[in-house]
Amino acid sequence: MTIVREISVAEREYWNTEIQRFESAHPLNAFEWGMVRSVDGWTPIYLCAERDGKFCGAMMILKKRLPYTPFAILHAQKMPTWDHADDDTITALVNAAIRIGKREGAIFLRINPNIPEASAQGLKDKLIALGLRHLQQRWSYWNSPRDLLRVDLTQAANAEEMFSRLGRSARRDIRRAQREDLTIERATTKEELKEFYRVFHEFTIEKGFMTRAYAYQEKLWDTYLQQGMGRLLVAKHQGKIAGGSIDLAFAGKCVHMHVGATNRYRDLHINDALVWEGIRWAKESGCSWFSFRGVGSSPSQETFKRKFNPTLVSLVGYFDLPFMPLLYRLFYWAEFTLLPFSWPLIIWTRKLADCLMKVLSKH
């Protein structure tokens, strides 16, 4: 018989040790990810499935209360994790999620397992039979995209061979960055983290996408990075931090979380150098892949990522488990109809606010 129980931080090591045994394990499955997302107002609920006293699956559910309402939404990012031939475990996990959904007053639960679409082998039908609804959308404004680019690190014996497998333009731009007065170093202090965040924040405004507050980056530092499951690289030009990147590694995989350098250093090809150092670190750490978090929201982003000879991986996608059908339909409409329409205005407002802050700070 499979039982599912909630665990606390006291069993963090147990969770991290056991979850790495699964093929679909992802850096965002580490216990620490729930601690990171708590900064954004998400409360992690850790569900551990066991049979005969042995760990057989898990689901980290992130809960967020909707402001000024008694309702919540639930999200299991890159989860659940289980042996896909083990129907008892996934059934037990979904049933536990249903109980939690009712207990927490949730409108719905969304899951997006780290399972390639090509190897799903009837998985969709199993989840649909358990009451979940498979979405056709390829991406969402608040979820990880279904389509992403991953560099297969198993195809090369060492970092030198990995470099030779990069695209010609990537090798050229990395060498060009190395010839400039540019150094790539591992950050060791929070002062460097703060300076990286300042640069990264400026970068996101220039590129027109959203970023989280400094507290989120600090939590990554306090959890993943301080425990050896990630690192912050900073690129310094003439002694000043001109860019940086954060990579996370867990369960033999590496995910490229954040990278950025401001436009005034564009000709130094800092981002190329940072991505390469991330790939090299992942290879030397024994990881099987290095993953960008998506294909890219623009042709230029996709072109940049493809320089590193990645493979396009399409995941099985999003599944929703509605608990309140009417409110769920309203949320679905807002997410996939209203938000795309209003997003350009949100970005424009953010840029305007940043410009005003810069003007006011000079007076």
Is 139:307 a contact under the CB 8 Å cutoff?
no
The one-letter amino acid code at 86 reads: D
Query: pLDDT 10s per residue in the chain (363 long)?
Result: 999 999 999 999 999 999 999 999 999 999 999 999 999 999 999 999 999 999 999 999 999 999 999 999 999 999 999 999 999 999 999 999 999 999 999 999 999 999 999 888 789 999 999 999 999 999 888 899 999 999 999 999 999 999 999 999 999 999 998 888 889 999 999 999 999 999 998 888 887 777 889 999 999 999 999 999 999 999 999 889 999 999 999 999 999 999 988 888 888 999 999 999 999 999 999 999 999 988 866 788 899 999 999 999 999 999 999 999 999 999 999 999 988 777 676 666 756 666 666 656 655
Per the structure block, which two tokens stand in for 135? 């979405």
pTM to 2 decimal places: 0.92
167 CB-side CA count, 13 A: 15
Per the structure block, which two tokens stand in for 263? 């436009």
The rounded radius of gyration (Å) of the Cα atoms in the chain is: 21
Give me the DSSP letters along 228-253: TSEEEEEEEETTEEEEEEEEEEETTE
* Beta pairing partners, 217: none
Q: Which domains does the chain have, with CATH numbers?
A: 2-146+315-361 (3.40.630.30), 148-314 (3.40.630.30)
Q: Give the integer Cα–Cα distance in Å for 54 and 48.
A: 10
